Amino acid sequence: MMSKHEKTYVTNANFMLHGGDYNPDQWLDRPDILADDIKLMKLSHTNTFSVGIFAWSALEPEEGVYNFEWLDEIIDNIHGIGGRVILATPSGARPTWLSQKYPEVLRVNGARVKQLHGGRHNHCFTSEVYREKTQTMNRLLAERYGNHPSLLMWHISNEYGGECHCDKCQSAFREWIKEKYNHDLKALNDAWWGPFWSHTITDWSQVESPSPIGENMVHGLNLDWRRFVTDQTISFYNNEIVPLRELTPNVPITTNFMADTHDLIPFQALDYSKFAKHLDVISWDAYPAWHNDWETTADLASKVGFINDLYRSLKQKPFLLMESTPSGVNWHNVNKAKRPGMHLLSSMQMISHGSDSVLYFQWRKSRGSSEKFHGAVVDHDNSSENRVFQEVAKVGQTLEKLTDVIGTNRPADVAVLYDWESNWALNDAQGFGLETKLYPQTLQKHYKAFWEKDIPVDVITKEQDFSSYKLLIVPMLYLVSEETISRLKTFVAGGGTLVMTYISGLVNEHDLTYLGGWHKDLQDIFGIKPTETDTLYPKDQNAVTFNGKSYVLKDYATLIEVDSANVEAVYEDDFYAETPAVTSHKYEAGKAYYIGGRLEHAFQQDFYQGLITELSLEPVASVKHGEGVSVQVRQAPDSDYLFVMNFTEEKQPIAFDYEVKDVVTGEKITGELTLEKYEVRIVEKTRTN
Ligand code: GLA
Ligand code: ZN
């Protein structure tokens, strides 16, 4: 078995990747600018460039007429300065001639409206023509550049997402459904609760994707459609990579994942837990709205931590930050510039959670179209002197000191479970508060209680192994299969501590409710039965008493019938005042807690502090600090790299009660020091175990 401190290299580069999306195809008639790019790359301490992402029309200006010479030169020039290339397949946006000649590549939306050419990320995933065209292009790229010494990895397409409802997709969906239900219509109607509103399916040809002008209330159908969309996207991706696997078996493959909204909840439309299995490396595009006017910098930082720990845990190895901005973006409501210091801090935060890169969108600001004001390394002034360029160069210089961090990991004793399917089903549920389900946001809050205490957390998905964790937190797991229930049971029986909350374990994998109150195994594990979920209006509130303190409750309160559990907290108000709100239960070698209500953050802090003590969960290194400072760790075989980050607008005193070495300055430190606003210190601490 691999030691938990073993390094895992996700690419063969012996430096932290720094650079990003480079779109020279927008500047081919400006050789002077292309020459400046190469000079500026060196000055900015960048070394890795993702090329070709949107270059299809430059590579194949007419069907079957190819022009790779310009790309040869770009790649050679990058190689000439010792840089590496992440080569993209260009399927994310297609040439106009292609849509014009082969309209089947255009999507049909849910309302069955055929889309026009334009935009990007909008092709049919089923179209044979598009699959063939992309595979042909990818083969040519692999043949031409597969042995180029600068080729680091493949970047497949760009931010896959969306869905198509064309006839080809309908046929593919019907086949997928037939297969899934073993050609048995009864099984399909059982799963989709057919007789409801007389929606029984009597012939496979009646199966249609959900539509705002048709069927959208059959939850089993909605869920299966979303699963199909994920599978069809993966199938398209797998078709793209055939020539790459064949011709470049040793070149790792990734595609860039996303987050939804500047709140950084996981991307909703695709089940990344399935997609991850087909990638060699996880990479993602992070655009947090730093300095916003609705939350503290530390609140946002903890959300960034959450999603990084989710995407890292998909493969339990380092990942890549594929895109980020050196300053503002162009698509938030307000596109604020990163304040001095924030770029280094936010970049180091990504490294601290397991990224082996800091890559940007984009290298040089476009001159026209919608991204001409998006932050970039090189601005319209073409200068290496401006503030943003200098801050990028500083990140580069810092990354150059972090070579020993490459490949290191972050073992954790605590896991929070995130599930895409459960979120889909919960969002579909007509019930509870339609505006207040907030599943990902709820998980962010549970996670935060550990982030505040510098205790590493994995954010895992349901098929991952639970057994290595001491504590598994499963908030709002609305949809849960019998199989997962049985794995949760094994986890607790084997000595694990499990925390579950309101709105958990209500439906199975077909979105059909469990009969008999709650699943028998869950009743056994928790020694309770939830009987009703009360939903509160936004202005309503209740409270619970826990260990003699009162905590505000909003949105949800589950009424609980206790069998063999201990009552840890009771509701204070309403017709269920004095009844159990939080319970604990010893089950075989482990323990299971149930939290019945949505409680203010102070409850999470105090409740989890109890478990931290009970289970001896240690912060990875004790660094004394106040609120808003976060310490994250990358663990090498013999030492810990601590990233001490000030996510506040004030100076913050911190203290180490052991000796550490500042990785950037080489200075030895013990005792107290002060972090300036947004300052980050990266220190190495020798580990003896
Ligand atoms: C996405 C895309 C990029 C670019 C950025 C802008 O992440 O992948 O091509 O449009 O957004 O933030
Ligand atoms: Zn289609």
Q: Tens of pLDDT along 567-620?
A: 999 999 999 999 999 999 999 999 999 999 999 999 999 999 999 999 999 998
pLDDT digits 0-9 by tens, 196-208: 999 999 999 999 9
The answer, yes or no, to whether any atom of ligand 1 lies below 6 A from the CB of 374, is: yes
Q: Are residues 491 and 630 in the same domain?
A: no
Mean pLDDT score, 511-533 = 97
Q: Are residues 173 and 41 in the same domain?
A: no
Closest-CA residue to 163 (of 225, 251, 117, 205)? 225
Residue 207: what are its φ and ψ, rounded to 5°?
Answer: -75, 125
For residue 393, give both structure tokens. Answer: 């160069």
Domain with 191 in it: 168-225
Pocket residue to mutate for ligand 1, from 122, 254, 371, 372, most atoms within 8 A of Cβ = 371
pLDDT digits 0-9 by tens, 51-85: 999 999 999 999 999 999 999 999 999 999 999 99
Closest-CA residue to 219 (of 187, 196, 186)? 196
Centre of ligand 1 from the C-alpha of residue 351, in Å? 20
The answer, yes or no, to whether any atom of ligand 1 lies below 6 A from the CB of 376, is: no
The confidence score (pLDDT) of residue 620 equals 84
Centre of ligand 1 from the C-alpha of residue 361, in Å? 6
Q: Are residues 477 and 391 in the same domain?
A: no
Mean pLDDT score, 517-537 = 97
Assigned domain for 456 exists: yes
Query: Is residue 253 a contact partner of residue 156, using CB atoms and an 8 Å limit?
Result: yes
Pocket residue to mutate for ligand 1, from 255, 285, 360, 363, most atoms within 8 A of Cβ = 285
pLDDT digits 0-9 by tens, 656-675: 999 999 999 999 999 999 99
The confidence score (pLDDT) of residue 689 equals 66
Separation between Cα atoms, residue 327 and residue 377, nearest integer Å: 9
From 614, 636, 652, the end of a domain falls on 614
Assigned domain for 193 exists: yes
Q: Which ligand is nearest to the CA of 262?
A: 1
Beta-sheet pairing, 283-285 with 256-257: parallel
Domain containing residue 523: CATH number:
3.40.50.880
Point out the ligand 1 atom lying closest to the alpha carbon of residue 159.
8
Report the mean per-residue pLDDT for the chain.
97
pLDDT digits 0-9 by tens, 11-41: 999 999 999 999 999 999 999 999 999 999 9
Q: Classify the C-alpha dihedral 376-380-382-385 as positive or negative.
A: negative
The amino acid present at 608, given as its one-letter code, is Y
pLDDT confidence tier of residue 643, bands split at 50, 70 and 90:
very high
Separation between Cα atoms, residue 494 and residue 487, nearest integer Å: 10
Query: Is residue 395 a contact partner of residue 382, using CB atoms and an 8 Å limit?
Result: no
Beta-sheet pairing, 414-417 with 357-360: unpaired
Q: Are residues 176 and 156 in the same domain?
A: no
Mean pLDDT score, 325-347 = 97
The answer, yes or no, to whether any atom of ligand 1 lies below 6 A from the CB of 159, is: yes
The answer, yes or no, to whether any atom of ligand 1 lies below 6 A from the CB of 287, is: yes
Q: Are residues 470 and 608 in the same domain?
A: yes
Q: Are residues 382 and 458 in the same domain?
A: no
From 225, 241, 258, the end of a domain falls on 225
For residue 586, give both structure tokens. Answer: 């010893």
Global pTM exceeds 0.85:
yes
Domain containing residue 634: CATH number:
2.60.40.1180
Q: Are residues 197 and 116 in the same domain?
A: no
The answer, yes or no, to whether any atom of ligand 1 lies below 6 A from the CB of 652, is: no
Centre of ligand 1 from the C-alpha of residue 377, in Å? 14
The answer, yes or no, to whether any atom of ligand 1 lies below 6 A from the CB of 286, is: no
Q: Are residues 589 and 644 in the same domain?
A: no
Residue 157: what are its φ and ψ, rounded to 5°?
Answer: 55, -145
Q: Are residues 563 and 673 in the same domain?
A: no
From 204, 225, 246, the end of a domain falls on 225
The confidence score (pLDDT) of residue 262 equals 76
Q: Are residues 332 and 429 in the same domain?
A: no
pLDDT confidence tier of residue 272, bands split at 50, 70 and 90:
very high
The CA-atom distances, in angstroms, between 139 and each of 53, 70, 244, 327 are 15, 18, 7, 36
pLDDT digits 0-9 by tens, 165-198: 999 999 999 999 999 999 999 999 999 999 999 9
Mean pLDDT score, 551-565 = 98
- The residues that bridge with 378 in the sheet, in sequence order, are 364
The confidence score (pLDDT) of residue 172 equals 98
- Split into its structural domains, the chain has a count of 4
Domain containing residue 28: CATH number:
3.20.20.80
pLDDT digits 0-9 by tens, 103-139: 999 999 999 999 999 999 999 999 999 999 999 999 9
Task: Identify the residue whose C-alpha is closest to ligand 1 atom 7.
Answer: 285
Mean pLDDT score, 261-276 = 94
The confidence score (pLDDT) of residue 112 equals 98
Point out the ligand 1 atom lying closest to the alpha carbon of residue 53.
9
Residue 349, preceding bond cis, omega within 30 degrees?
A: no
Q: Are residues 67 and 107 in the same domain?
A: yes
The answer, yes or no, to whether any atom of ligand 1 lies below 6 A from the CB of 452, is: no
Assigned domain for 551 exists: yes
Q: Are residues 473 and 445 in the same domain?
A: yes
The confidence score (pLDDT) of residue 2 equals 57
Q: Using the 8-state DSSP alphabet, how is residue 433 labeled?
A: -
User: Catalytic residues, which ones?
Assistant: 159, 323
The confidence score (pLDDT) of residue 1 equals 46
For residue 426, give both structure tokens. Answer: 């919960």
Assigned domain for 260 exists: yes
